[in-house]
Structure 1
């Protein structure tokens, strides 16, 4: 019985650590794998204040559960926090971030 319990605990630890490595988020009981590179179609909107493309809005909606996590990443945080990004969020129907 002790061995089975130890195995279960080890499995949970491995599962949780693998989620951290893949930047996964659990939202509404669904696993969302976060990939900030999928936001590349939004680059023109964030850099030049242009209107976000349909593809950008689709990616923003897909990555919405991950946006607060990106804020703390040095490479992506500056873009997610920018006024242009917030304008793109608004244009795509993404509510203001409350992280």
Structure 2
């Protein structure tokens, strides 16, 4: 069975994603500069996540059907730390009409 995140993408279409400028490739990190906006001297934001209906510019596919992160290996720390099956995960899955995941499985 494929990992549930490969068909989900709800988190990528629900949150503002802010991270340290040092995670951007401009400052020596790995997040592509074309996908990040510098907010101030210390914070960058993933493009597309600062809207009433966010959708990260790195998200490919269709939420709930087949979704993937186009920069998975280079994604910023908030994305790396987001846990599948967590309370926040299940809240956004519900918002997108998807069933909850069991916590701790992924």
TM-score in terms of structure 1 length: 0.29
Quick check: which one's strand share is greater? 2
Quick check: which one's helix share is greater? 1
Structure scoring higher RCO (CA < 8 A, sep ≥ 6) equals 2
Q: Based on CA coordinates, which of the two structures has the bigger radius of gyration?
A: 1
TM-score in terms of structure 2 length: 0.28
